[in-house]
Amino acid sequence: MRVVLTGGGTGGHIYPAVAIARQCELEDPKTEFLYIGGERGLESKLVPQEKLPFESIDITGFRRKLSFENVKTIMRFFKGVNRSKALLSQFKPDVVIGTGGYVCGPVVYAAAKLGIPTMIHEQNAIPGLTNQFLSRYADTVAVSFEGSEKAFPKAKRAVYTGNPRATTVQSANRERGFASLGIPMDSQVVLIVGGSRGAKAINDAMIGMASHIGRLPGIHFVFVTGDTYFERTREEIRSRLGTMPNHLHIMPYVHNMPEVLAATSLIVNRAGASFLAEITSLGIPSVLIPSPNVTNNHQEANARQLEDAGASRMILEKDLTAETLFGRLEEIMTSPDVRKAMSEASRKLGKPDSAAVIVEEIRRLTGKR
């Protein structure tokens, strides 16, 4: 089978596409791939690292306000469609799969016009503009949250598949997670992370909360600050405490996040869709602090899905303080019953077979069994 993948701008769009590729390879090692991304997008760096053939097009997103730049974007869109048609005609894929981001627009649109079977995957509870546009042309719209199918009333077919990142974490080695953190096996671990680049609001709450964590003895706290905030956060905590407690671990970045997640008892994080897919696949309770700086405030909608199911406690960034954050952590970590109920609710939302479900839908589209 020959598969074209497209998606970009953020890891939340790129890593689901990579997860789909890995599942295709698992089921058919002879599968051939082409990834079409943006010239300036994060995918131009990440995808080649994943050993997937990569081609680029020049495309930008629309501004939400009237702007002459949008005229240029329209011109780039049609230029991108022509470039995509040339790449698709050369590669001759059996299917084209878009996982979000504006680069998907010209690629999936071109595939639909060429009569190539197409699928788009929407990670968030509130769909992005590109996927809303493409839903009228794609043969299948796959959604990460059950019930989100109704957000695509003009789609030919909308199906709940879950997020393929849920499958990726299933093979994570828990022992390696503990070993990489230098924490004894079977310890309780509270992981606090503000995304791959960190989040100032969460780091500030970490700093203020550091003096409180001694009230929860026997629990290891792992603060992942992001490279930009690491030195400041570590030194600020050190100056406030005088010395660094053995049960407090401050790190700039985690390179083996699936393994660390497998060792985690409770996580504090933003509410990006791919990360939520991973933690629900593992049944991890969470305290979610959705970023207010995203399109359509979709992270809050993502977080409410987990909160309403009993899998998470949500704190809006405007309400985030060291005291509110520690209060939620204390509530959960001092009550095994609360933590168990949240874990069970989280696992019920998880869909660890998501990647396999998506590949099955690809086979339905292409007729290749």
Facing residues of 170 across strands? none
Cβ(129)–Cβ(104) below 8 Å: no
- Phi and psi at 54, nearest 5°, equal -130, 135
Consult the annotation and say whether 256 binds a ligand.
no
Nearest to 107 by CA among 88, 132, 131, 133: 88
Cβ(351)–Cβ(165) below 8 Å: no
Consult the annotation and say whether 188 binds a ligand.
no
Cβ(154)–Cβ(269) below 8 Å: no
Consult the annotation and say whether 11 binds a ligand.
yes
Dist CA 219 CA 329 (whole Å): 11
Consult the annotation and say whether 101 binds a ligand.
no
Consult the annotation and say whether 170 binds a ligand.
no
Dist CA 176 CA 256 (whole Å): 9
In sequence order, the 6+-apart residues with CB closer than 8 A to the CB of 266 are 188, 189, 190, 191, 284, 285, 286, 287, 329, 332, 333, 339
Structure-block tokens of residue 236: 């600020």
Nearest to 149 by CA among 177, 134, 170, 127: 127
Dist CA 117 CA 137 (whole Å): 10
Helices (H), the chain: 11-27, 43-49, 68-91, 104-113, 129-134, 165-168, 174-181, 200-209, 230-241, 257-262, 273-282, 298-309, 322-333, 336-349, 354-366
Consult the annotation and say whether 281 binds a ligand.
no
Output the known binding site for UDP-N-acetyl-alpha-D-glucosamine: 10-12, 124, 196, 299
Output the known binding site: 10-12, 124, 196, 299
